A and B are shown apart, each in its own frame.
Chain A
């Protein structure tokens, strides 16, 4: 057996690197095990050891000589006070054979997202189980997330064996149960071992206190684990940056995410599928004859083709599939729930596109893996979803390639990372539904009407006066000879939207449909007046995105809640206050006021006619016309 030589020296050139995570439930002893592993590997310098002894004495007056190894890895102020690890922390150590990067993953139930984060870059997971407690719901949850994130190797450390008198039967029962669980979840490689983390038994060296266990210690298992990353076998390079120092050089910089390529090799630029050959593989250390997965290089091509950030340069003989609709697992990480049909940014590789979750087919109970019906996903929930993108992308299945199969979802308003997803397969209909070309376009249709099309989007609380004002505006435009149509939210709920209620997810879908219909009408050349409460910024922004720069005019009909309640033309506020109507905007459902509407109508003290005139002026101004008097 290799003796451990305590040293702070780094890995020598040529040693391999294993990225792994540690996970388990609260109090299973993860931080202690990891701290002990660092200590046994000789990675704790003298000054840190002195600080550790000092802090240990402070916290454990009853046992002043014992070292509390968990203090080596618990970092942030808040968690030290709470005594739990709340965020992924990365540690670095090495043995004579290998360098390690370990993501210390939190055990607390509400921090599943951090575990997924740590697992996303890991090739192996160390799962801790408390010998006294056996498998807990969190153990199953963490193992499921490991499997979901593509980890295929697990080491199960059954900890606190000293507290069950080192009994082999207890160990055997736990490991038997765990192997069954792992098999169900598709994890093929499972190694188990009994440990006592504070005492170091089977951590950095084999233990004499557990003579019935004859296998390797934890460090030996980590040294022997497979380090092969999950990546495409064929050549793939997502373009990060176009390098154009002068007119003579045009290179495409990026990291090879799969396979290898040689100079002269034929490639295709995806998704547009333009073919070319590799002319040079440029690096600051000189040109290469070939490049392989993991290398950051700059490629030049033998002919001028259009390549930009987000494109994928791929092996021409075996390119990546291209699609714009997918089935994927989504792990939700946002504080606000995932709502079907809301638009999010989706980043995959180096490409960012607009995405909507069109359907949540089911959510997965992460403790039992049961499939449940769901209309939304809350924080830390996993769903199997259909996703619709506004552009086709080159992709791989996540099980084959993490780089082109894994994506993040970004909230378009807050820019927070609210979810991650693992692509499963492209939906067939994406390939089978084609855009039918028509000879007449919007310009032709609107020119024949003698006008330019517009969408006037009236937003505001129920009873604010949207429909009243829009109705006056339409009459006025009609009198001036314009072709118009008014889409009223209430009216649409009698037909097109009669299947929708007022939950947040239904409101998102309601606004999406109205926006799409308005878009068709603008395409037909009309001036469309839309009156919907549209309480969320996100959906109004989605609507705006469907139109050209000048085509969309947002009109904020700003009437105070008190005034709306006082008017209460339909008696709805009274019912909402009485609890007869739920999810009523302004009462128990939020209204997010526009920040940059083209027109902000402050209605207090003005008659509807005056307000309508402001709208007409704004509209005609946008058409480059003056109000006729």
Chain B
């Protein structure tokens, strides 16, 4: 019987997927969203191709509403110099002044994230985009393939997915088509944290609890990260001891009250937790099938 652990098996499987992507596609890219899953992905990217430098750039689709600490963290990653970091902003959306505060989460996500991603993929001609989605995140993701085909319009067709057997991935596409590849498909949220601890992987400090200025809005704790945030009638900014389980655009990401300021404490807190990861995300609550619709339209 092998002495290898569950995490070793997940790591090997992810590296295998990275290598298939690099070998089978002409112009692969790794989508980098700065969160914990992206940190794990970047770590695996470096491991998969060692001692060579990663044979693909990172792409961050910047909605212009990310937490400032996320952007600082991204810039540190770029400064390390071993991997190119491309940043794309949907300038058309910026000109229209699209904002999650005034247009709501649906429009903002559609324009700045989904449309922005498609623009960037077309601009650079990427034929494979690696993402950090996990099947345990959400019900429609549970049926996603490891290599997920997208037509030339970047659309996902859940009824005509390619059967995926063993680890023998079908990587054949026509010009203009692309795949999304998900090396973390079989990881759970808890696996991600155990692996971050085991491998000493840096993550954005927002995952660790400390006093932060927050506003209670629609049942969520929203952090006031810059001057664009405007208070509604009856709202007030309070300092609370909070952290984030998941990171996105700051006005759309709810914090949780916590005192977990180390990895050990985070893992301990999650072990006792009784709520799921994406609960803090305003985007998922538009309707129970909303993620599936977004994915069909090209959302990651």
Residues of A within 8 A of B (CB): 7-17, 45-48, 51, 55, 73-78, 80, 86-92, 99, 101, 113-114, 116-117, 120-121, 228, 240-241, 243-245, 249, 251, 253-255, 282-285, 292-296, 298, 309, 333, 345, 347-350, 402-403, 406-408, 410, 415-417, 420
Contacts and interface: CB of A to CB of B under 8 A. Distances in A.
A78 B158 CA distance: 9
A340 to B, nearest CB: 22
B6 A16 contact: yes
Interface residues of B, number: 67
B63 to A, nearest CB: 25
A116 B270 contact: no
Contacts of A90: 135, 142-143, 185-186
A284 B12 CA distance: 12
Interface centre among A12, A16, A99 (most CB of B within 10 A): A99
A87 B143 contact: yes
A78 B258 CA distance: 39
B264 to A, nearest CB: 12
Most buried by B among A244, A253, A295: A253
A7 B47 CA distance: 31
Contacts of B273: 8, 45
B19 A76 contact: no
B11 to A, nearest CB: 8
Contacts of A74: 139
27 contacts: A8-B190, A8-B271, A10-B190, A14-B5, A45-B279, A55-B288, A75-B142, A75-B143, A76-B158, A86-B159, A90-B143, A91-B142, A92-B188, A121-B165, A121-B167, A240-B23, A245-B51, A245-B53, A251-B51, A255-B167, A293-B2, A294-B4, A298-B50, A333-B163, A403-B166, A408-B163, A417-B162
Given A17-B9, A90-B135, A243-B51, A10 B22 contact: no
Interface in B1-40: 1-2, 4-9, 11-13, 15-16, 19-20, 22-23
A487 B129 CA distance: 48
Contacts of A10: 188-191, 193-194
B172 interface: yes
A122 B23 CA distance: 26
A298 B142 CA distance: 31
B152 interface: no
B19 A254 contact: yes
B150 to A, nearest CB: 12
Given A13-B194, A416-B162, A410 B170 contact: yes
Contacts, number: 186
Interface of B: 1-2, 4-9, 11-13, 15-16, 19-20, 22-23, 46-53, 135-136, 139-140, 142-143, 158-159, 161-168, 170, 172-174, 185-186, 188-191, 193-194, 198, 267, 270-276, 279, 288-289, 292-293
A15 B6 contact: yes
A369 B160 CA distance: 29
Given A240-B16, A254-B19, A284-B47, A406 B168 contact: yes
- Sort A-B residue pairs by CB-CB distance and give the 9 closest, nearest first: A10-B190, A9-B271, A245-B52, A284-B50, A296-B15, A120-B165, A284-B47, A75-B139, A415-B172
Given A10-B189, A294-B9, 18 more contacts: A8-B270, A13-B198, A16-B6, A17-B9, A73-B139, A73-B142, A76-B158, A77-B292, A77-B293, A90-B185, A99-B6, A117-B165, A240-B23, A282-B50, A284-B47, A295-B8, A415-B172, A415-B174
A187 to B, nearest CB: 20
Most-contacted residue by chain B among A80, A293, A295 (CB, 10 A): A295
B275 A89 contact: no
Given A243-B51, A294-B4, A296-B48, A47 B276 contact: yes
A228 B136 CA distance: 24
Given A78-B159, A90-B186, A113-B163, A241 B19 contact: yes
B132 to A, nearest CB: 16
A47 B279 contact: yes
B143 A11 contact: no
A410 B173 CA distance: 11
Contacts of A14: 5-6
A75 B289 CA distance: 8
A415 B142 CA distance: 24
Nearest to A42: B274
Nearest to A421: B165
B278 to A, nearest CB: 9
Nearest to B139: A75
A117 B173 contact: no
B143 A89 contact: yes
Given A296-B15, A406-B165, A76 B6 contact: no
B5 A408 contact: no
A33 to B, nearest CB: 16
B168 A407 contact: yes
Contacts of B194: 10, 12-13
A283 B186 contact: no
A77 B5 CA distance: 36
Nearest to A14: B5
A120 B167 CA distance: 9
B284 to A, nearest CB: 11
B290 to A, nearest CB: 10
A243 B52 contact: yes
Contacts of B279: 45, 47
Contacts of A7: 271-272
A333 B193 CA distance: 38
Contacts of A114: 163
Contacts of B16: 240, 255, 296
Contact of B274 (A8, A255, A293): A8
Nearest to A239: B23
Given A87-B158, A347-B168, A403-B166, A77 B50 contact: no
Contacts of A13: 5-7, 194, 198
Nearest to A89: B142
Contacts of A347: 168, 170
A114 B4 CA distance: 30
Contacts of B271: 7-9
A416 B171 CA distance: 10
B136 A92 contact: yes
Contacts of B6: 11, 13-17, 99
A45 B142 contact: no
B170 A87 contact: no
A273 B142 CA distance: 42
A45 B275 contact: yes
A112 to B, nearest CB: 10
Nearest to B15: A296
B289 A77 contact: yes
A80 B51 contact: no
Nearest to B187: A92
Given A284-B50, A410-B172, A420 B275 contact: no
Given A117-B164, A121-B166, A284-B46, A76 B52 contact: no
Contacts of A91: 135-136, 142
Contacts of B165: 116-117, 120-121, 406, 408, 417, 420
Contacts of B5: 13-15
Contact of B292 (A55, A76, A295, A408): A76
Contacts of A77: 289, 292-293
A256 to B, nearest CB: 9
Contacts of A416: 162
B275 A47 contact: yes
Contacts of A11: 6, 190-191
A315 B205 CA distance: 48
A9 B20 contact: no
B124 to A, nearest CB: 21
Contacts of B51: 243, 245, 249, 251, 282
A47 B194 CA distance: 23
B223 to A, nearest CB: 20
A537 to B, nearest CB: 13
A495 B192 CA distance: 67
